[in-house]
Amino acid sequence: MRSLDTPRGRWIRLRMGVVCGLLAFGLGIIVSSGWQLMGREGEQWRELAEKQRQRRLHVTPKRGTIYDRNGSALAVSVEAPSVSLDAVELLRGVSPQKVPVVARDAANRIAAALQLSPAEVERKILAKRRFAWLKRRITAAEAEAIRKLSSKKEAGEERVRGLVVEGEGKRYYPRRELSGPLLGFVAPDGEGKDGFELSMNRELKGHVEQLRGLRDRSGRLLFADGVQDEQVLAGHNLHLSIDQGIQYAAERELAHAARTFEAAGGSVIVVDPYTGELLAMASWPGYNPNDYGDSEPEERRTRGLTDAFEPGSTLKIFTVAAGLAAGAIEPTQKLFCEKGLMAVDNVTIRDTHPAGWLSISQVLAVSSNICSAKIGLSMGGNKLYESLLRFGFGQQTGVPLPGEASGTLRPRGRPWVQVETASASFGQGISTTNLQLAMATAAIANGGELMEPILVRKVTTATGEVVREAAPRVRRRVVSKRVAATLAEMLVAVTEGEGTGTEAALDGYQVAGKTATAQKTDPATGRYSLDRYVASFLGFVPAKKPVVAIAVMVDEPMVEIAGGAVAAPIFRNVARMALKYKGLTPQGTQRVDIASLANAPDPANAAYEVIRQQQGKKPPVQVVSASGPVGAGSVRLPDMTGWPVREAVRRSVELGVTPKVVGTGLLARQEPGPGGVVRKGASVVLVFEPAT
């Protein structure tokens, strides 16, 4: 201890004190900084550390599969290799002076392997981003070339760092063109375009989530939190009502006819009339969703629901149905078809097959415009409009597909005038879609109930749990069972004997149907074109207890234009395939007497029964004459539809006719109908119904 009292010892103590002081000061600074980092700024620095240690992983789940009704896959997701670039890793350790040279050399080698532009690759390298796609969904040969570049040296060349080859979801359609417009396609960004891929995109693509995890330098996922089972995020699966066997037959027959008759397009829709399930929805032209880039937008339309057109004579089915339901006509009565010419206002209506007196069955068989117009006019414009509206025309059906058209029944804000009512009766001046026609035909086939169309039978999770399931649903009853059965028997005459639809006949089966050859409007002139037509056929088979209802539309055929020659054979071949597929055998072709069906009472239509009794079971169909003065002692009846009882009776008395009132409320129909010419003193039946 004495040695420390010496000058040398004191110097040692001083130095030790200084060192200890410096150490204490340094320790204080460290403790203070540590407290500053852990206390005041701890949360901020922890977040920075996490960002540096971990990477955000954008997890894209597997897209759901689309199946047909039998479980056959129509659209699946497969893993396809894609290559990305980490430019920071590629240029790690390279001096700034050598960066351009290294980037150009790497760009040339990468571009040669991927068949890309070297300048484009070099631009991505010089951007020095941690992630950039070089090429997505590459071939196996390209993936192998990239792996060779990034794994080892080649012929004295340095390996290219920062290249990552990883699996990425790719949409694949194993049936190629089958149901292409119906399914749609998926763009490289993973978003659905067109068809079900678009309308059900949210459910198909699943739940996209960002997770934090670790990746090694090769980009492989080492650890991630938050997902125990990748199927939790996977998209839902769609199970369609489409039957790929019937769909294939419909597409094949439609394509064959379109090429044979040099048509611009067409559609075929096959419906189960009792459930409303769509078994096929074919469009032509179509495309292969695997190569959607090679297709035109018009080839990707689902024409059965996007294209509205004038239906022409197929609408006579529903005019006759409305007339039978309203009591405007009797199934057994005959109408005078004016020998092929009839004037309504300032328009002359013509028949392709001029005739005199025809039964209702014959009116449908030879497709008389004149007698159809008489039926519509006898009901009145408002009643015909309401009847067609009940069949679903002028309204979207609500199927889960984009671009559905509603069609047009009449101009907004005003009722039909007499000539418009006459034209609408045989399918001119209005527009419908093929899907609307198919569902309305199915309503006649199943006994009078308009069904909700079903395209998606059920939606399931990736683990098989049912998310939702469709069930048959009746929208409303449009006609009684008696009217539907009577009309079905009448429609058989169209495909037999001298009917216009004999090409739709099937050996051993009764086929109920109707042809149409409708002129299209020329947009340049606003008049009906002389060389552009829509050929169509509606029908169901067997006529009794039908299995399928089918709507065929061929747009602008050139070689032949008649619906009986162009569309009816498509119906026949598709129906034959559907019947075989369902395992049915020919049932025979015994006809039912229409008179026996007509005499059956219809308690659902009491007002109609009153008219039948008052008219001796022969309700009149008006005689339509040209506009202008009428003969002496005769009067022309106005359209009083919607008038109250007092006003309608007063007007009838002023005209000199005797009103016979049935019911209360507003005038629903009059016999004879609007425009009818009657002798003064004749009776006019006015049927009133409560306002709704």
Q: How far apart are CA 490 and CA 594, in angstroms?
A: 8
Specify whether 313 is catalytic.
yes
Q: 450 near 391, Cβ under 8 Å? A: yes
The neighbour count for residue 133, using CB atoms within 10 Å, is 12
Q: How is 100-148 classified by DSSP, letter by letter?
A: HHHHHHHHHHHHHHHT--HHHHHHHHHTT-S-EEEESS--HHHHHHHHH
Angle formed by the axes of helices 418-425 and 369-379, nearest 10°: 130
Q: What are phi and psi of 278, to 5 degrees?
A: -85, 110
Q: What is the largest CA-CA distance in the chain?
A: 158
- Locate tokens 């004295």: which residue? 156
Tokens of 235: 């998209």
Torsion of CA 177, 179, 185, 191, to 10 degrees: -160
Pairing of strands 237-240, 66-67: parallel
Residue 453: name the closest of 441, 465, 467 by CA: 441
Q: How far apart are CA 278 and CA 268, in angstroms?
A: 11
Cis (ω within 30 of 0) for the bond into 601?
A: no
Q: How far apart are CA 276 and CA 274, in angstroms?
A: 6
Cis (ω within 30 of 0) for the bond into 542?
A: yes
Residue 347: name the closest of 427, 418, 425 by CA: 418
Tokens of 224: 């991630």
Q: 462 near 236, Cβ under 8 Å? A: yes
Helix, strand, or coil (residue 363): helix
Tokens of 291: 């190569």
Q: How far apart are CA 268 and CA 277, in angstroms?
A: 14
Q: What are phi and psi of 363, to 5 degrees?
A: -55, -45
Q: How far apart are CA 200 and CA 277, in angstroms?
A: 18
Q: How far apart are CA 310 and CA 432, in angstroms?
A: 6
Q: How far apart are CA 327 and CA 611, in angstroms?
A: 7
Which candidate in 84, 179, 283, 313 is catalytic? 313
The residues that are catalytic are 313
